[in-house]
Amino acid sequence: MAPRRRGWSDPGVTRHICLHGAESTGKSTLAPRLAARLGAPVVPEYGRTYAEANGAEFDEADLLAIFDGHVAATEAALAQRPDWLVSDTDPLMTQAWAIMLLGRRLPEIDAWTNTADLYLVPAMDLPWQEDGTRLFGSDLARRQFMDVALAELDRRKLPWAWVEGDGAARLKSALAAVKAAGA
């Protein structure tokens, strides 16, 4: 894991944790559980809300709308100046979607710099569950999507940690990763 970023333990500075990784790894289940333990608000996965309203056949305009939605929701949450903030994905996952669906990066997302302090990546140790918005269910596609997602973190040299287990064990793993990061 990379060293702590500025402000991680400074009083009055929001510590921002983001869940990141392939579909159907429990991010949306873990986010509110982790937030409850940290006393944090949650920024929900904007892409899911968008897909439920507009369908999951994304083009560049859709991905940029999702990017804008993530940014707006995160800025609104940060404006409340919480001690902790938990995001259920962020624009870096939207960039992973762009790579998977369009075969290219979106410059608007590459220019975005308001990343989280720590990324938690749930392992693919939970079974795939179709929910009507997911696209990469085969083992090969799921692994490829995870590889693309991790590459986004590594490309920016962002600190991240694996989260493993099911239910309470997954939450315990997430809390241990946060503690190991210096919180």
pLDDT digits (tens, 9 = 90+) for 28-51: 899 999 999 999 999 999 988 898
Hey, CA dihedral for 63, 67, 68, 73, is it positive or negative? positive
Looking at residue 95, its amino acid is: Q
Laid out side by side, the sheet with 15-19 consists of: 42-43, 84-88, 15-19, 118-122, 160-163
Domains and CATH numbers, the chain: 15-180 (3.40.50.300)
- 3-state class of 108 per DSSP? helix
pLDDT digits (tens, 9 = 90+) for 144-183: 989 999 999 999 999 999 999 988 999 999 999 999 998 6
Residue corresponding to tokens 């790894």 = 25
Q: What is the pTM of this model?
A: 0.88
Looking at residue 36, its amino acid is: A
